[in-house]
Structure 1
Amino acid sequence: MTLNNNRLHSMARLAALCAGVLALAACGGSDDTAAPPPVSSAPSPAPAPAPAPAPSPAPTPAPTPSPAPAPAPAPSPSPAPAPAPAPAPAPAPAPAPAPAPAPAPAPAPAPSNAPAGYTLVWSDEFDTGTLPDASKWVYDTEANATGWYNNELQYYAVARAENSKISDGKLVITARKERLTTAKDYGGQDYSSARLITNGKVSWTYGFFEIRAKLPCGRGTWPAIWMLGSTGDWPAGGEIDIMEQVGKNPTAIEGTIHTTSTAGTFGDGGETKINDACSAFHNYQLTWTPESLVIGVDNKPFHTYANKHQGSASWPFDKPQYLLLNLAIGGDMGGSVDDTIFPVSMEVDYVKVWQKK
């Protein structure tokens, strides 16, 4: 029982102490701690609890400002519509192959002066090389050492451009005042020239022969276009002088036939006049058939020698003959020489031979 009273008494003191502490806290008590009141032996009645202070009204919270509305996003530009692909162009039609060019027509042949029914069988137009074509021509030098016939004064040179060459589509045979003393067959001549022949290369029996040439002028020159028998016998083989001219009488063109029957004479011949023989080209022509020899210039016959059928002495012309082109100086026909004319030339544009089909 005593224990209980002591216990009760302690509890009362504890309660009073707690009430004081509470009151002090409610009044905002001072920093100095008050001395506890003296403990009474009788418990003090518990003071009425201090009314809880009225809670301060909670301040009205300031309204939260509405956030500025986010700007409306700019509308995304509508993507430009992709252009419709252009339709693929239709493939160009393959070009038609160009037609092969028509071959250039062959140049028309130069008009022929040959009689109807004749065919060209041989020619030299002197369009290639620098010297005469060795497959067609031979240099005749047979009498250089002993001196040429008819008291001629020239030395005939071989393959020497100073005396025979191809130039501008022409054969040029040139005579010069010079002594070729180093030549093995030199015969003391004071002049040089050239003599070209087809002997051993080609010869003909019958046909139409045309040689287009320009002749030299000047006293002492003696150009010739002529033919000799291939047998080598003279006069038995015959001689046909298609053209002879001498510088002392340059407009006179002669055509002559030599045979055994005319030996010892100047032959059987004729003459025509060509005023520009030394400055222009002319066509010197021979028509040879079994019945006659007809010599002319530019399609104008001026001498005819007929076959009288009296044998070979007067008509050896049923056998082959070869052609000669030469420029002699002086001699029985050329006469005295004017040395101021040198060098002097005969030019030949072409030589053509036709025969009957």
Structure 2
Amino acid sequence: MAKILALVGFLASLEPALAQDALKVAPTQLILQVTTDPPGELCRRIDTSGPRSLATLSLHRTFHDDFDEHPLLKGRWVPHYAGGAAWPQARYWGGDGSDLKRKDSYNGEQQIYVDPHYGGRSTTPLGLDPFKVRDGVLSIVATRTPAALKPVLFNNEYVSGILTTQGSFSQKYGYFEIRAKLPVGTGVWPAFWMLADDGGWPPEIDVLEGRGQRPDDLVMTTHWRLPANGMVESCGFDFSLPGASNEFHDYGTLWTADRLIYFIDRKPVSDIKVPVGFHDPMYMIVNLAMGAKYFGGVGFVDAESPVTVEFQIDRVSAYQIDPS
């Protein structure tokens, strides 16, 4: 009996490690535990220790990038926000005003998103590459803008990177997941989020946002617009995850016809009834911003901000719900 109890104790001690090993891969078929009781109009935390009603849901993979090569090689991602129908193609790559699609000034961001083809105020590519791939891990790297390039790059404090699947992949309903480490530091704002493919805003699903000044603190939020008065509503929660800055974890959102469920390491942590306006397929965005005007716990870039910071991403995947 003593040997049996010792074996049970040993296996129990291995359970967290085994669970993390299972999360290292993105299976072609995925089973999730989902909430089944009626969701609320506002988001709620899911207490896994309580009597929450759960059921299994089967999904199949529809998108996957495990970053064994540079993210811009296969056309899955583009390194800027999309322009409108009248946006000249050349404006994506340089010239006055091209920064409009390479940062969100409204949010008070202090970086500009670059890629090797981008020229800033010049029409000649600057060759800046914020995307580094090492051992199957993508790093989006933010660095302080070289003094000589500041006038060419609209005087932004940092150069960094963004990847979006607009124009290459979007999906209505399903599960969307990133496996990543969350960088920290004053002004550091990593995110994995989704927007409607028709270009409207909101809806917006923030699968993951990190607060750089609060290590191991992350946020998951839903945004929508009230049709009666046009006001934008938001509902989300902060979650404390020890080790999030130096360990890979999975962060995901399941979008079904009646609810949005947020997951950490494929365990449901919050949900909400799908708000109005979530009609169109949505595309994925992953980026590392620097500086935030409205998003607490990030702050503006200062002398204490890191000279170089990396948002490490092991993979990004999407799944569609099986018909059964």
2:109 pairs with 1:152: yes
Shift of 1:180: 7.6
State the partner residue of 1:22: none
CA contact (8 A) 2:216 2:243 kept: yes
State the partner residue of 2:144: 177
CA pair 110-138 structure 1, distance change in 2 beyond 3 A: closer
State the partner residue of 1:243: 208
State the partner residue of 1:352: 317
CA pair 229-214 structure 1, distance change in 2 beyond 3 A: same
CA pair 280-244 structure 1, distance change in 2 beyond 3 A: same
CA pair 275-168 structure 1, distance change in 2 beyond 3 A: same
Shift of 1:349: 0.5
Partner SS state of residue 271, structure 1: strand
State the partner residue of 1:342: 307
CA contact (8 A) 1:290 1:318 kept: no
Distance of 2:74 and 2:128 partners within structure 1: 14
- The alignment of Structure 1 onto Structure 2 pairs a total of residues equal to 240
Partner SS state of residue 279, structure 1: coil
State the partner residue of 1:283: 250
Distance of 1:266 and 1:251 partners within structure 2: 26
Distance of 2:240 and 2:60 partners within structure 1: 30
CA contact (8 A) 2:115 2:129 kept: no
Shift of 1:318: 2.7
Shift of 1:302: 2.2
2:294 pairs with 1:324: no
State the partner residue of 1:117: 58
Shift of 1:356: 1.6
CA pair 249-144 structure 1, distance change in 2 beyond 3 A: farther
CA pair 175-144 structure 1, distance change in 2 beyond 3 A: farther
State the partner residue of 1:224: 191
CA contact (8 A) 1:144 1:156 kept: no
CA pair 110-223 structure 1, distance change in 2 beyond 3 A: closer
State the partner residue of 2:80: 140
Q: State TM-score, norm by structure 2.
A: 0.67
Shift of 1:294: 0.7
Partner SS state of residue 198, structure 2: coil
Shift of 1:277: 1.0
Of structures 1 and 2, the one scoring higher in RCO (CA 8 A, sep 6+) is 2
Shift of 1:272: 1.1
Q: Which has the higher strand share?
A: 2
Distance of 2:74 and 2:255 partners within structure 1: 26
What residue ranges of structure 1 are gaps of 5+ in the alignment?
Answer: 1-108, 308-313
Q: Percent identity of the aligned residues?
A: 32
CA pair 144-329 structure 1, distance change in 2 beyond 3 A: farther
CA contact (8 A) 1:114 1:208 kept: no
What residue ranges of structure 2 are gaps of 5+ in the alignment?
Answer: 1-24, 33-56, 84-96, 117-126
AA matched with 1:140: H
Distance of 2:111 and 2:79 partners within structure 1: 14
Shift of 1:113: 4.9
Q: State TM-score, norm by structure 1.
A: 0.62
Matches within 5 A, 1:10-159: 113-115=30-32, 116-128=57-69, 130-140=70-80, 145-146=99-100, 148=104, 149-159=106-116
Shift of 1:319: 1.3
CA pair 152-241 structure 1, distance change in 2 beyond 3 A: same
Distance of 2:311 and 2:233 partners within structure 1: 24
Distance of 1:355 and 1:110 partners within structure 2: 13
Distance of 2:279 and 2:140 partners within structure 1: 31
